[in-house]
């Protein structure tokens, strides 16, 4: 075994190189026996090159001055989003197959950029929205969306799923379509729609009241419609953090739809949507991990440079304990994130539980790391201009985004009971 590698039965970071658990082989009498397989926790050469490419892009692009300005602007300039897209689609030799990156690779990208920026960026939303439209749209529709994204760096649509009375409880969705006097009409309200005030199109999920419910899931369909249709209104939402992700509430008041607005891909409704939500939870947690690392870097830098009573504060036992606990959180976050990402990539039987446990733990741990960094920086950390205070706000928002901590418990608990039955 190579020096520095670990030989264990099951990896805790399955995104990484030669991840293997127990393998079966036949003994001399043909009896199956278990062979322990060493696990290498280092990145593959492709993954290392991928991280290095986006680290170079992130460190050059997301300077503290730029990030401060773009937070105030509530978004990134055209040249930055186009630079990301050009890099993302320009690394064809590092792709995982079929002209795309695996969810593990996407998580590595989002983690690194979030660390460089010390902020929540729109890229994870773009990648998640692309996965949604890829599944629900026809091949030609998706090709048009992808072509426009690659040319401009901006998705032409905002994704509208959450509602005031149906956030985590998506099946309580009230937005609906219905045929009235031979006209197809859309009514309802969507909220927390990223870029909903600015995107030229809205990809909206709605209950089809012209159909009977086939089972426990109401019939749900996605529509891609122009935002400037008569009856569509947008109202901005002011948040305390994640300012580069502008949110809006959208109201649909007797909006007349053309049948051409209906996405023509595989339409399996809520069952299909629920699995795709796992993608968004993984990329959200990747962002949380990256921001926690940024907070840790700020805390360590301050602990090294700041002196009190003539001593570097990083030598104080209380600070040593805080930094140690913060690093434990970061290590655990990384393990849970990439275990869940691989489960989604492989479609394994523990996918849903792995994602729920990851989403329950990672954003909360990131918030704790950012809070610890604020405490170590003292009064400076509590000011509006301090990066760690903004990191705390962004990390705290991820405990709500893509399913709250409490909803993850609701999902995980019956799966845990079943696992140990």
Give me the CATH number covering residue 63. 1.10.540.10
CA distance 68 to 192: 23
CA distance 20 to 9: 8
400 Cβ neighbours under 8 A, 6+ residues apart:
none
CA distance 421 to 417: 6
410 and 297 in a single domain? The answer is yes
Q: Residue 207 has which token pair? A: 């209950």
Boundary residue ending a domain (134, 167, 194): 134
Contact predicate 343/359, CB 8 Å: no
34 and 59 in a single domain? The answer is no
Contact predicate 219/208, CB 8 Å: yes
- pTM value is 0.88
207 within some domain: yes
268 within some domain: no
37 and 49 in a single domain? The answer is no
297 and 403 in a single domain? The answer is yes
Q: What is the mean pLDDT of each run of 10 residues along the chain (421 residues)?
A: 33 45 43 45 87 97 96 94 95 77 94 97 92 87 91 91 85 92 95 93 93 80 93 95 94 95 79 86 97 98 94 94 98 96 90 97 98 96 93 96 94 96 91
302 and 399 in a single domain? The answer is yes
- Predicted confidence at residue 366, as pLDDT, reads 98
360 within some domain: yes
284 and 311 in a single domain? The answer is yes
Query: From its phi and psi, is residue 269 left (phi > 0), alpha (psi between -120 and 50) or beta?
Result: left
Between strands 220-226 and 201-208, the pairing is antiparallel
140 within some domain: no
Contact predicate 244/171, CB 8 Å: no
Give the end-to-end CA distance of the chain in Å, rounded to a whole number. Answer: 37
168 and 250 in a single domain? The answer is yes
114 and 176 in a single domain? The answer is no
Residue 180 CA, distance from chain mean position: 39
Closest CA to 167 of 231, 247, 265, 282: 247
188 Cβ neighbours under 8 A, 6+ residues apart:
163, 174, 175, 176, 206, 251, 252
235 and 303 in a single domain? The answer is no
Domain count, the chain: 4
19 within some domain: yes
CATH classification at residue 247: 2.40.110.10
DSSP string, 356-404: HHHHHHHHHHHHHHHHHHHHHHGGGGGSTT-HHHHHHHHHHHTTTTTS-
What are the residues facing 187 on neighbouring strands? 176
184 within some domain: yes
> What is the span of the domain harbouring residue 26?
1-42
Contact predicate 323/314, CB 8 Å: yes
CATH classification at residue 364: 1.20.140.10
187 within some domain: yes
- Predicted confidence at residue 271, as pLDDT, reads 79
300 and 395 in a single domain? The answer is yes
- Predicted confidence at residue 289, as pLDDT, reads 98
36 and 70 in a single domain? The answer is no
152 within some domain: no
- Predicted confidence at residue 347, as pLDDT, reads 87
Boundary residue ending a domain (200, 234, 261): 261
Contact predicate 13/339, CB 8 Å: yes
- Predicted confidence at residue 33, as pLDDT, reads 42
Exposed/middle/buried for residue 59 (C-beta within 10 Å: 0-12, 13-18, 19+): middle
50 and 33 in a single domain? The answer is no
What confidence tens digit (pLDDT) does each residue in 219-261 have? 888 999 999 999 999 999 999 999 999 999 999 999 999 999 9
């Amino acid at each position: 075994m190579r020096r520095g590698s670990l030989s264990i039965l099951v990896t805790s970071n399955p995104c990484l190189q030669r991840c293997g658990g127990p393998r079966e082989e036949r003994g001399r009498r043909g009896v199956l026996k278990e062979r322990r397989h060493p696990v290498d926790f280092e990145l593959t050469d492709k993954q290392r090159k991928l991280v290095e490419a986006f680290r170079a892009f992130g460190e050059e692009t997301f300077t503290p001055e730029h990030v401060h300005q773009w937070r105030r602007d509530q978004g990134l300039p055209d040249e930055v989003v186009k630079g990301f897209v050009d890099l993302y689609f320009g690394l064809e030799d590092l792709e995982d197959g079929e002209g795309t990156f695996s969810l593990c690779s996407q998580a590595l990208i989002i983690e690194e950029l979030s660390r460089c920026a010390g902020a929540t960026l729109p890229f994870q939303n773009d990648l998640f929205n692309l996965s949604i439209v890829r599944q629900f749209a026809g091949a030609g529709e998706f090709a048009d969306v992808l072509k426009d994204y690659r040319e401009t760096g901006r998705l032409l649509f905002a994704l509208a799923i959450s509602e005031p009375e149906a956030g985590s409880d998506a099946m309580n969705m009230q937005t609906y379509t219905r045929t009235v006097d031979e006209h197809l009409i859309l009514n309802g309200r969507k909220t927390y729609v990223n870029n909903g005030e600015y995107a030229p199109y809205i990809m909206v999920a709605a209950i089809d009241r012209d159909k009977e419910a086939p089972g426990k899931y109401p019939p749900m369909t996605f529509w891609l419609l122009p935002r400037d249709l008569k009856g569509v209104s947008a109202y901005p939402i002011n948040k305390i953090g994640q300012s580069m992700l502008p949110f809006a509430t959208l109201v649909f008041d007797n909006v007349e739809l053309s049948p051409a607005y209906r996405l023509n891909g595989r339409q399996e409704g809520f069952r299909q949507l629920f699995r795709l939500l796992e993608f968004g939870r993984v990329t959200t947690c990747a962002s949380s991990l990256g921001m926690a690392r940024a907070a840790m870097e700020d805390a360590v830098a301050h602990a090294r440079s700041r002196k009190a009573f003539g001593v570097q504060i990083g030598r104080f036992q209380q600070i040593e304990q805080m930094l140690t606990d913060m690093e434990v959180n970061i290590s655990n976050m990384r393990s849970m994130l990439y275990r869940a990402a691989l489960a989604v990539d492989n479609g394994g039987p523990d996918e849903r539980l792995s994602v729920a446990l990851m989403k329950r733990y990672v954003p909360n741990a990131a918030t704790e790391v950012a809070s610890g960094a604020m405490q170590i920086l003292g009064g400076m950390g509590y000011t509006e201009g301090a990066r760690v205070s903004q990191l705390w706000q962004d990390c705290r928002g991820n405990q709500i985004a893509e399913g709250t901590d409490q909803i993850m418990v609701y999902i995980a608990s019956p799966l845990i009971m079943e696992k140990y039955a």
